[in-house]
Structure 1
């Protein structure tokens, strides 16, 4: 083998951003850059965390083709790690040295490349272990997956779990695992059985000063309504009092107050968070959701004529913040889908339809959040176009793809509402019972599905229902 091939084999064995399968097409680079820039501001006094962020920033710069900026960010990371550990061969430097070996390879600085390879080898030898068995390395990998794309959240969860097996008392690893669970676990549990709540409590024990974790726990507790409102309210009040200017605390607290129905307080906090991070797509999106809740509250009040202009003012705010969210994160599929729906509400049907077709294409190409687009398109068809059959079709597609997601749960509710409305009008509506059967089938509730499909068949001849019913009966008796 020639020298270049041997070098490449060694590089491929490293644990660093260049070998973690961070695919450019999976990433919304402007959004990632905004998040990393925000993190640099937040962690200005935490050198080790800053070093990790500069590592991630370097790889984004590499993906953008800025090799010199990549190198500069990595050298900053090295300096920060050395200020923390005062040694050249500390295990915290494994990832940074690996990245430096790779960037020097791409810049054809082969002597420098080999020098950094040797540094990684020396660290591994000093600790008598491979890089993949070092909790600091696995943890940095987990944080990278969390920061780069929602498509990597499951991989992040696996990394933090593995790292905690090696270092169970580590505060950062416990926090990372808690956040990964918060972002991936949607199933309904009792408070006692919720893995997310258990891990958030554990993370707070090991990070008593982390006020973001407290608000995340409060948001999860608020799902259990009045049972846990007192504890949730107390956690949020404490977090805001301790960290009144932390944008993440303000953003999550804004989300919490929206859940609690205190929309104006949520809007006030989120508006304050925007002063700190005006380019935050997530904060703009949360503001749009608060104004959506405010719009719903207003529509539920009386005197339609008096409220119509106010509803339009609120709708303008929703559209403004959704447009800002999608400007700063061009691949923010949820925000784009919601924006298209609101254009539909404004009777801009062709514009909405064009946007939906564009986002369907993007979601399919990226294999990302297709179920979300189906949900919003179903809402668009039902409430803007009044085409119930198309709404049913797309609610079903959402449910088939990701039934446990918030959009999947909303799709199930939408389908039930349509079905029962039809049954109320006509107790012998076979298609309505077919819809209910579909929901039970997707949820794995086979006996209930059989009962509904039997009713559907009794009120009309449908070969598709018969096929499904036979398959269900067969699976039950196996």
Structure 2
């Protein structure tokens, strides 16, 4: 979802500025300067409405960029859409994107959408009836507020399946809706039907892999057919190969699936060993340490070794969700005061720079 109104216009300033930044980060200064010159040319061609305001297209494009690439800046994206809408209120696409950004901001903070946002979703859905991504989010919010949505979800599924595949076609939130509010089996069937229609779409394989993972994790007390496990493992391995530059979390998920099911704990250990030995950036290392600590605690039942890896994650001086998670775990263990490592944890936390 992005600016589809025109191929040219002030919104391109954001695109070119992003390209300039990317080339600068890659050390490609000539390419970076070329894009900066394009930005300058556009700034001369499209003068800002005032010294205080940018073009509404620029606000909208910046918002789309934040929605796509900044998980923790959904509120800022929503604010930017609001500014664009105030200046150009007839843009239905911006209204829809504003509501989606608002909903995603709530989800990032694990909050349930309130009645006011639910009403905004309903209005946006009525104004933009072909946006099935928004429709899926709306029914998901309705379900969380106690409304019965199974019939609506199944009808929406037929519409989504007829649409071209994209990250905003609605299939991902729809599958999540099915998993949580219809049934896990129907979610898997829907994912497989989508794959039958588009067998080469890597995005659908990624969505299907997530369904199988959730089936294994959320219903681990239910009997697991070997064919389900094999399909899950096969999909995950394929998705890892299709997304080689963003596969770290999926490799961890694959290891956890091996461990959770006891089909091949040796495979789980091997994956984690390879990840622990790999060359990762600080946040990547924190991610591996934190997830490995959880694996040791809940699957291998090695609590002391688990604590050691939570310490490893926390010791890396880089702010991240994973570091905060490990620190919280260590603080809970210390506060309960029932582990023989409590004194060591106390000393570690006292010396830790938050």
TM-score by length of 1: 0.53
Residue 215 of structure 1 and its aligned partner are, at CA, apart by 0.5
| Residues 254 and 269 in structure 1, CA contact (< 8 A), matched pair in contact too | yes
Pair 1:321 & 2:240 matched: no
1:96-145 CA distance string (max 9 Å, x none): 78799999x947998x9979845541321xx6446961111111122223
* Equivalent residue, structure 2, for 1:21: none
Residue 352 of structure 1 and its aligned partner are, at CA, apart by 1.6
Pair 1:123 & 2:38 matched: no
Pair 1:145 & 2:100 matched: no
Distance in 1 separating the partners of 2:341 and 2:300: 28
Distance in 2 separating the partners of 1:456 and 1:362: 33
Distance in 1 separating the partners of 2:277 and 2:217: 28
| Residues 222 and 260 in structure 1, CA contact (< 8 A), matched pair in contact too | yes
Higher relative contact order (CA 8 A, sep 6+): 1
| Residues 101 and 116 in structure 1, CA contact (< 8 A), matched pair in contact too | no
Stretch deviating more after TM superposition (382-391 or 331-340): 382-391
Supply the RMSD in Å over aligned alpha carbons. Answer: 4.8
Pair 1:192 & 2:114 matched: yes
1:12-60 CA distance string (max 9 Å, x none): xxxxxxxxxxxxxxxxxxxxxxxxxxx7xxx9xxxx6285xxxxxxxxx
* Equivalent residue, structure 2, for 1:236: 153
Q: Residues 285 and 243 from structure 1, CA distance in 2 versus in 1: closer, same or farther, beyond 3 angstroms?
A: closer
Pair 1:286 & 2:214 matched: no
Distance in 2 separating the partners of 1:131 and 1:94: 17
Distance in 2 separating the partners of 1:332 and 1:151: 20
* Equivalent residue, structure 2, for 1:378: 293
Alignment of 1:43-442 (within 5 A): 49=4, 77-78=7-8, 91=10, 106=30, 117-118=40-41, 120-124=43-47, 128-129=49-50, 133-148=54-69, 150=71, 153=74, 156-168=77-89, 170-185=91-106, 186-189=108-111, 191-192=113-114, 197=118, 199-224=120-145, 227-228=146-147, 230=148, 232-246=149-163, 247=165, 248-260=169-181, 262-274=183-195, 275-276=197-198, 278-281=200-203, 283-295=204-216, 299-301=220-222, 311-330=225-244, 331-344=246-259, 345=262, 346=264, 347-357=266-276, 361-362=279-280, 364=282, 367=283, 373-391=288-306, 401-402=320-321, 435=332
Q: Residues 204 and 362 from structure 1, CA distance in 2 versus in 1: closer, same or farther, beyond 3 angstroms?
A: farther
Distance in 1 separating the partners of 2:344 and 2:171: 54
* Structure 2 unmatched runs, 5+: 24-28
Residue 338 of structure 1 and its aligned partner are, at CA, apart by 0.4
Distance in 1 separating the partners of 2:192 and 2:36: 47
| Residues 340 and 355 in structure 1, CA contact (< 8 A), matched pair in contact too | no
Higher helix content, 1 or 2:
1
Distance in 1 separating the partners of 2:287 and 2:344: 30
Distance in 2 separating the partners of 1:237 and 1:339: 30
Distance in 1 separating the partners of 2:304 and 2:207: 31
Residue 193 of structure 1 and its aligned partner are, at CA, apart by 6.0
| Residues 60 and 81 in structure 2, CA contact (< 8 A), matched pair in contact too | yes
* Structure 1 unmatched runs, 5+: 1-38, 52-76, 79-89, 302-306, 416-430, 439-452, 470-478
Residue 188 of structure 1 and its aligned partner are, at CA, apart by 4.8
Distance in 1 separating the partners of 2:289 and 2:309: 5
